[in-house]
Structure 1
Amino acid sequence: MNKFFVTLISATAVLFAACNRNAQKFDASGTFEVEEVIVSAEQSGKILSFNVFEGQTIPKENVVGIIDAENLSLQKEQIQASIEALQEKTSNVLPQIKLLQEQLAVQQSQLNNLQHERTRIENLLKQDAATGKQLDDINAQIDVMQKQMDVTRQQINVQRTNTSTQNRSVLSEKKPLEKRVEQLSEQIGKARIINPVNGTVITKYAEAGEVTSAGKALYKIANLDTLTLRAYITGTQLPQIKLNQSVKVMIDSGAKAYREYPGTITWVSDKAEFTPKTIQTKEERANLVYAVKVRVKNDGYLKIGMYGEVLFVK
């Protein structure tokens, strides 16, 4: 009799627990999602290395692969050689200037001698030991020498101007070539596949050895530390919630239990929409609802696409 009584109590307890679970009333329900980032190739070419596998956690800024950029490197070296060759095309004005300056120095020395001779003749003329013609002749020679020196100075200036103009014309090609080198350097840098965010690889689309093109998807990654439950509430529930409100999030844990998580409402839609078709009954799908997003810290049990229930904290 006692044994039968204990069995009856146990059965009643199980039935009561099941009824309570089935009677659990949730304020909203939805599915978990995450912000996914699709990492694409920024350069065309053969994938030389690609160290990515699904389920792998990769830190931000890690280099996970290399795309062949040998052709771009050769182009860069060719342009750099062209820049170096430009320097050889420029003219060095110093040797020509040096010759003209030496010539000017000789002319200055000759002028000094002529001026000294003129002074001597002027003194002799005062003593009637020289003639006026001698003074005129020396003055004429001085005038000629000064004009020759003016011509030499002009030649120096012309030589400098012409050489500078010629060199500027040659070196004007340098700046566009340097910009092209910068462009190629940037493109070569894009041959490295750099992971943009901290996260876990969800899907891998390419393998080492394949030929890829710019913009082609290589892998999909997402930060699974925090997931977002996109749930739906009715218009009558809308006044009950606000941004940054704490809620309870429940997921199935076996056949007769729930696992509970703290959550925070991070977004509320400002437009009503029809209930998603994942809702089972036709009547429920016809209702207008508002989407909300609840941020939930993931302990590893939460998965993308998993269903979750929301209880508003009273």
Structure 2
Amino acid sequence: MKKTVFAVAVWGCVAWLAISCQKNNHQFDASGTFEANEVIVSSETAGKIIQMFAEEGKTLPKDTPAAVIESTALELQKAQIEAGIEALQQKTSDAGPQIAVLEQQAAAQEQQVAAQQEQLRILEREKKRTENLLKAEAATQKQLDDINGQIAVLQKQIAATQQQIEATRKQVAAQKATVATMNRSILSEKKPLEKRVEQVNEQLQKTTVKNPITGTVLVKYAEAGEVTAPGKPLYKIANLNVITLRAYVSGAQLSQIKLNQQVKVLVDAEGDTYKEYSGIISAISDKAEFTPKTIQTKEERVNLVYAMKITVKNDGYLKIGMYGEVKF
């Protein structure tokens, strides 16, 4: 009987030593919980949700459609504005036909002036010839006077035709100015309407909700068929490929850590084993705070600590809210 008791006692001591050694092997310098940069995606426009592609646990690439909001009202509004722009275009005056007639008239008058100037050159040559003949007493003074009279009449005709051309050109300019003034007042309404079309187009683009980051959908807040509004959450997403452990250290431990320092991160596995990851310290708080209630014992929660963030590459095992321990 004594031998049995002694054997049990020895076995108990061995077991206690084994457990103690195992615990000592897994002493840690800090602990905390895993978190991720979560993004809550909301609709930027109001309307009925036609399609919802975001599903909990589903991975969505960046910029892919996550939801489609009904756009019938916006499309009707756009069509109405575009019809107004087209109606304005029909109200504008076209001075082309009237201006074409006036320009044809001016061209004919210019041709007439050209013909008259050619006649004038002929008469000028005839005048010089007659003057030479008169000096040789081969022509009379009356012949020279007749030519001078023809030249004077032709010069007056040329001047009158040139005045007609100038008047016609002024009519063309006046017609263009009048029509331009009329059209300007009409088309001044066009630019605000075009701006409204741009605004509606922007709203139409927002009816397709684009996923902002590549990640996994954590929570889905809305379903197809529901009515949403600007700012109303549709789903929550986070990139779980890289996850962050928020841990806490005491003031005395600050000298042991620095930014970009590589550390060991341990998480619970099967039984009493741990799964080990490599992490990088990405942030260290410069402000002390009380130990969070979820960390350490009741006595230790009254101590001031400093938060730090450790970036860990996730192999799929790490989950948000899971506890982790850190070894420097």
Displacement after TM superposition at 1:280 (Å):
5.1
Residue 146 of structure 2 aligns to a residue whose secondary structure is: coil
Partner of 1:15: 16
Unaligned 5+ segments in structure 1 are none
Report which of the two has the higher share of helix. 2
25, 28, 32: which is aligned to 1:26?
A: 28
After TM superposition, list the pairs within 5 Å mapping 1:48-197 onto structure 2. Answer: 48-111=50-113, 116=119, 123=127, 127=143, 130=146, 139-197=155-213
Task: After superposition, give the CA deviation of every residue in 1:52-73 in whole Å (9 maximum; x if it has no partner).
Answer: 2211111111112210011111
Q: Which runs of 4+ in 1 moved over 4 A?
A: 4-14, 109-115, 117-126, 131-142
Partner of 2:324: 308
Q: Is the 8 A contact 1:28 1:309 kept in 2?
A: yes
228, 233, 248: which is aligned to 1:217?
A: 233
Determine which structure has more spread, i.e. the larger CA radius of gyration: 2
AA aligned opposite 2:91: K
Flag the 1:243–1:148 CA change in 2: closer, same or farther, 3 A.
same
**Within the alignment, does 1:266 sit opposite 2:282 as a pair?**
yes
Displacement after TM superposition at 1:26 (Å):
1.4
Q: Distance in 2 between matches of 1:221 and 1:182?
A: 31
Q: Is the 8 A contact 1:18 1:256 kept in 2?
A: no
Unaligned 5+ segments in structure 2 are 131-140
Partner of 1:243: 259
Q: Is the 8 A contact 2:260 2:282 kept in 1?
A: yes
Displacement after TM superposition at 1:175 (Å):
2.6
Matched residue pairs, number? 310
Q: Distance in 1 between matches of 2:236 and 2:283?
A: 24
Q: Is the 8 A contact 2:31 2:295 kept in 1?
A: no
Task: After superposition, give the CA deviation of every residue in 1:71-128 in whole Å (9 maximum; x if it has no partner).
Answer: 1111112222222333322222221112112222343455456663897598597515
AA aligned opposite 2:29: D
Structural RMSD (CA): 2.9
Partner of 1:253: 269
Flag the 1:59–1:137 CA change in 2: closer, same or farther, 3 A.
closer
Residue 300 of structure 1 aligns to a residue whose secondary structure is: coil
Displacement after TM superposition at 1:135 (Å):
6.5
